[in-house]
Structure 1
């Protein structure tokens, strides 16, 4: 018995092993990652309604286009709508678009198209499905739902396959009448039924806890001004490219945003305008203002003196700036950090003046160029994260309120999403919502602090589906009650706050912008949201008391989360350049003939340092480092050029003084656009005493002769080294070396002269002594006595002596006499 059982078990085991071996063989032979063929692309061209409301129809309509990208015809085309589960967290706004197909469990009946699609051919399709009911999407409550549009078919000589899909999301603010729900209506409160359910089966919006809606509308662009160009109108405005001209045009990225804002200003509900605040990058305004004056495009941005070509966007810049000024008169305006400078980089550089320009001086620039009074007192960091170093930068400049995203770890959630970190109060916002808004538009932008596992692929999504997902993300915080209120766990970081912060460089089209603004209008009108202006928020924010730690967002590289902070070596270069710039500014003098001031003349070099630490949105670390190095090097080059522009003209190496006290004459050339004050540093030997001429002012674009007092005590050659510095101590140009010669004979000549004088006095005294005593001078003892003829000539009148001298030329001319009788 046991033997039979053992035989049966052995045979069964052998059969199982044989089956397993045979079934495993195909898998072992197959490639590990067989790439599935790409059959078609599906493009959604229309989805209505954008938001489901009780005032609309109880159906969702989708129109689109299917294109055969396979190498064979496709038959039996079918289209259907599928729905995923209700989105309950902000993170799910992005991850639900990446979920496996099985998560879209609710499916509508397929709609068949009796058409064969040849390779490369396209076909239009239309889908309609009820919002509620078993034949539709089966939606019975408000919130945000993932949608999938699926196309399937049968390629020639093949079986049925899924051809393509597209995903988006549908916000449900309220639900229209529905007979099935109407049957559930009891009219009684507190019986467990939904109090929002109407007699006709409609479902009203949830207005029990309206979310506070504040929308930031960033206007910014990556730095475009070429580095190392001096300002104040002394040099032509130069850009690194002409891309901004296209962006400012009416159909460009920045032009389209202004068109949408103009519509807000003119016609959208005033409550939407109340929630909105336009955050402007001052660097963008400086660049556009420069373009309105006429500009050039540099051939080599790394070389401030390279060739250039005329820019094409002067008219577009003028129109754009005029529109923004008109909008600024009616809407809230605030300033972003200058050039999106990273706070961590500012902390590393540790230059108080530079930080002031970036943080608090940004508002001054916005006010000056837009002629408005911008909202101050709240900082909007470029990345959305805040470190302790960045917080110190803010608090040092008396900024006690800021905006932060996922860089917070609170002790307990706050229903307004407001927290305190040391001296700075923080308003939080959801990064996935920012990512959804950034995904809309002509050039989708992904926030750098969004983890990769939360970012769906957007390559196959149309402008309509990306726009629809952005609308759903905007509505999410107003339609979703936090889990903590249902007792399902801790609430979200932002609580019931709907602070909306798109990526800085987002690119919504006019249609995108209007869809978002119309959605905001709908949510406010429904009562699910209430407007909260940024001004009111910034006034309330300092009262925040819930403590929160500053942390690096999980699954994000620390360097990325901090906005690619500048390296120590580059920071040292920036500090050095800023020191030289400040010293040069202190030595320059304003000229009545030049409109530029020392501040405006050198302001671009300070701003270039901020552009060098701009926070990138899509660049890699290597690209960021290369751009940063290019800007820092260009500024260094310009500062060196400025120092060489003020120089001593070398007289040729040899200089001769006319006398021992002759001055040394030097000529100083100044090729700068402003006067500059300089001083001389002269090294000379002891034999040549050189005086100090003090500080001298050299006129712009000209020369000046300087007389340096000297005193030579020897006629020997003296080598003099002359250096020139600004009045603030910056070395200028190259020192010159002169070989100076003097006609002075020095101390030996002095003593010889003294000895000769003493001898003359003694000899004269001796002669007088003998004359007074009536004695002949011993010096005359060897002199011969005059003969009679000599005595007669000596006593003759002067005229006779002159006549005699003429007759005898060899005879010396007699000296004149003062005897008047002889003259007569």
Structure 2
């Protein structure tokens, strides 16, 4: 007999023949070009948007609904009818049934008349599930609404769908699978872009809004989520097993921001300018060029309370770091910027340990997209925490070591920029010393036989798979349900058609069903694989509680065993041996092919990746052109670090794969990248050359050329003066120009210019030691000695001519005077 997961793996291999590619530019989910990738137009097409029902409460025997009329017309004769389908054997089948029309729900219960509903009216309806006589197992439920809208006849108006589980007798000789539940803790962080580092403390925190404070306040999403998890793992039923078999996946950018909020913050739409222009005192009188100072934030106390509670919860259980700002791993890898990717996956564990006091699980990467590209897999070597010094030294030490390796060689000729081809080749992520595990859906990789739910993606990088159908159902939960790229497009629809409570109930039942899939009787059954469950990034407390409750009930009934995350992501010795026996090579690469099997409409577009990559490299250049000064606490990497974080925040995956959140996330990313670009331009523009007027006249060939270099940055700048000019022009520029912080320096040069030309045009600019331009080029015109002599000769002839003309006129005038009587 072939197991269900074997069939799923075979299907996945076929699906991988049509990988997904990013769109050239962001496209709205409502655009016809991509609309069917977000939602199959043939799925639930007759759902009425303004009339529906939301689940309020649900248990084994009873469901309470809120029936609402948000349309502009009266609904008369409204009736709710419970219906159900046959019990489903797999999560994939359950997901398919939830997307089908009413014909898939052939069994009817007793209808309940609601009556007439006026526009805006809501009414609660309680339904008894006992008459449905649901079979043991997991069954799709449908609560169908019928009624007449306005003058029309009675018609089907919509439905509420959910999965419902009825416990049955356990199978004989059934094996007990393991369960490992990962609960994400993240939120959109809206720090006003354009921040730069300060020392010794962080710069003042400026947020665009109080939305994060609202989530941290009592009753807010983050507070209720943490309360639900902490309660379930400390005082709830089977708390010890639940604590062992669950883990908080925490966004380090969120923790870092909340920690800064505890010190006080400001809410403003923009931040003050980083650069100051020279201005005469009299011109500044009465001027008002300062930006709005903003308002003091109100969430400092709530931030402190939440952070303390999170620290206590982390100390008592398992934590793992999400990518910084829950950034899209594939998009950041596509920028091809080393330091951006290292900030994405390398700093998070150190941040959590520093802020929360507990070391998170290491070498584990959780992409929000549920899959990784081949480009991202090769970069994941940077996620190796073995021997990491980020906690003690930050990323500064790594940057300086890299900068030293890239420094110009002593043999390089003074006064010339080193060509990029002369730099040592240190590109690419190193192979990890210890394996890096990346959690992805099982239909996004093709594993090695005998290796279970593990597959080797690249040297030292192992994919740990979770059930794709379960992942797709769990991703469609919470306030911002996600459309996963690895989900079958045939069953995609706007998941907001069902209420958040119904989707939370579905999540709990889906986890029970996924465990049941792994339970097979008979001697032929293989050892069941652990069930990894990952809900949506913006999971709400209700969904988290439903999953935690389902897991606790499975543990209590001995239907599943808790598996710690670090054990769930580690292959057994025989599995590791099987993985190692299949080396990656061009001949076997097709066997381990991976990526999204279907179109992913939420993938970060090529345009956004290009902008982010350009700004990341621009930030790298800005870092390289500054130098550390023992008298200044601020380091050059620390100065530019917030600019990199702005780029990472613009590539967040949070809410991007939601039909309702995509547009806002894309617009916010566009605004952030625009603001970050302006900041980078201002910072680079503050290091400039000031030419000495339009024409520089030399008295002799040995006369030096003078030019002023100014620096408006808080760190010194080491640069080279680079020039271009006509053939035969040679300028002896200094090999190194050191411009002090917030200062200027006069640079002296000698030049050998063509003597036969009256004037010579030169272009000069500042560049880093590896040749990257720093300042805007300036043009100067040098008056040569030959030009000076020619000019003097013309002037002399002109004076002589005027003198002769004057003498002639005076002589003629005198002669006329003598000739008069």
Scaled by the length of structure 1, the TM-score of the pair is 0.67
Q: Could you tell me which residue of structure 2 aligns to residue 284 of structure 1?
A: 254
Unaligned runs of 5+ in 1: 1-32, 50-59, 175-202, 747-824
Alpha-carbon contact 2:441-2:471 (below 8 Å) kept: no
What are the within-5 Å matches in structure 2 for residues 311-710 of structure 1?
A: 312=297, 314-315=299-300, 316-394=302-380, 396-397=429-430, 398=432, 399-408=435-444, 410=446, 416-421=452-457, 423=459, 424-455=461-492, 457-481=494-518, 496-504=529-537, 506-509=538-541, 511-540=542-571, 543-544=575-576, 545=578, 549-551=592-594, 553-554=596-597, 556-557=598-599, 559-560=600-601, 564=603, 567=606, 577-591=615-629, 594-615=632-653, 616-618=656-658, 632=673, 634-652=675-693, 667-681=708-722, 693-705=734-746
Whole-angstrom CA distance in 1 between matches of 2:675 and 2:263: 23
RMSD: 4.8
Name 1:224's counterpart in structure 2: 190
8 A contact 1:416–1:497 mirrored in 2: no
1:148 matched residue in structure 2: 142
Hey, what's the Cα distance between the residues in 2 that align with 1:351 and 1:212? Answer: 39
Q: In terms of mean alpha carbon deviation, does 521-530 or 157-166 score higher?
A: 157-166
CA contact (8 A) 1:44 1:462 kept: yes
Matched residues in 2 for 1:660 and 1:457: separation? Answer: 77
Partner of residue 127, structure 1: 127
Q: State the structure with more CA Rg.
A: 1
Once the two structures are superposed, what CA deviation does each residue of 1:439-470 show, in whole Å capped at 9, x if it has no partner? 43333333343234323554453343222112
Relative to structure 1, the CA distance from residue 409 to residue 697 in structure 2 (aligned partners, 3 Å threshold; closer, same or farther) is closer
User: Who is 2:57 aligned against?
Assistant: 46
Distance 1:693 1:464, change over 3 A: closer
Paired residues for 1:653-802 under 5 Å: 667-681=708-722, 693-705=734-746, 721=762, 723-729=765-771, 730-735=773-778, 737=780
Contact 2:75 2:147 in 1 (8 A): no
Equivalent residue pairs, number? 653
> Are 1:94 and 1:456, in contact at CA under 8 Å, matched by a contact in 2?
no
Q: Which SS does the other structure have where 1:146 is aligned?
A: strand
Aligned to 1:254: 222
Q: SS at 1:96's partner residue? A: helix
1:231 positional shift: 2.4
**Aligned residue in 2 for 1:752:** none
- The residue that corresponds to 1:166 in the other structure is 160
Structure 1 residue 526 displacement after superposition: 0.9
1:247 Cα deviation from its structure 2 partner: 3.1
Tell me the secondary structure at the aligned position of residue 364 of structure 2. coil
Query: How far apart, in 2, do the equivalents of 1:34 and 1:451 lie?
Result: 18
C-alpha change, 1:451 and 1:245, in structure 2 (3 Å) is farther
| CA displacement at 1:136 relative to structure 2 | 4.8
| Closer, same or farther: CA 521–303 of 1 in aligned 2, 3 Å | farther
Who is 2:39 aligned against? none
CA contact (8 A) 1:42 1:64 kept: yes
1:243 aligned residue? 211
Farther off after superposition, 313-322 or 462-471:
313-322
Distance between the aligned counterparts of 1:34 and 1:713, measured in 2?
79
More divergent stretch after superposition (596-605 vs 147-156): 147-156
For residues 248 and 463 of structure 1, the distance between their equivalents in structure 2, rounded to whole angstroms, comes to: 20
Structure 1 residues 415 and 485, CA, compared in 2 at 3 Å: closer, same or farther?
farther
Rounded Cα–Cα distance in structure 2 between residues aligned with 1:437 and 1:731: 49
Mapped pair 1:263 → 2:244:
no
Measure, in 2, the Cα distance between the counterparts of 1:639 and 1:678: 18
1:137 aligns with 2:133: yes
Describe the SS at the equivalent of 2:228: helix
Match of 1:767 in 2: none
What SS class does the counterpart of residue 365 from structure 2 fall into?
coil
Q: Is the 8 A contact 2:477 2:535 kept in 1?
A: no
> Which digits, 9 at most, give the CA deviation of each residue in 1:739-785, with x for residues without a partner?
5899xx99xxxxxxxxxxxxxxxxxxxxxxxxxxxxxxxxxxxxxxx
Q: CA deviation at 1:598?
A: 0.4
Larger RCO: 1 or 2 (CA < 8 Å, sep 6+): 2
Q: 1:34 to 1:684 in 2, by over 3 A?
A: closer
In 2, the alpha carbon distance for the partners of 1:73 and 1:688 equals 87
Deviation string 1:471-528 (CA, Å, 9 cap, x unpaired) is 11122122345679799xx99xx96431101122x2313x432232122111111111
2:400 is aligned to none
Question: Contact 2:174/2:521 (CA < 8 Å) preserved in 1?
Answer: no
Structure 1's 414 and 107: CA in aligned 2 closer, same or farther, altered over 3 A?
farther
Query: Is the 2:709–2:747 contact (alpha carbons within 8 Å) kept by the matching residues of 1?
Result: yes
Once the two structures are TM-superposed, the CA of residue 214 in structure 1 deviates from its matched residue by: 0.7
TM-score by length of 2: 0.67
What secondary structure, in the 3-state scheme, does the structure 2 residue paired with 1:539 have? coil
Tell me if the contact between 1:678 and 1:726 (Cα under 8 Å) persists in the aligned partners.
yes
Q: How far apart are the structure 1 equivalents of 2:721 and 2:58?
A: 77
CA distance in structure 2 between the aligned counterparts of 1:513 and 1:36, rounded to whole angstroms: 28
Task: Report the CA distance between 1:408 and its aligned residue.
Answer: 3.8
Distance (whole Å) between structure 1 residues aligned to residue 157 and residue 766 of structure 2: 77
Partners of 1:205 and 1:527 within 8 A in 2: no
1:21-40 pair list within 5 angstroms: none
* Distance of 2:592 and 2:699 partners within structure 1: 78
The offset of 1:591, in angstroms, is: 4.0
SS at 1:503's partner residue? Answer: coil
Distance apart, 1:341 and its partner CA: 3.8
Q: 1:406 and 1:678, CA in 2 relative to 1: closer, same or farther beyond 3 A?
A: same
- SS at the partner of 1:364? helix
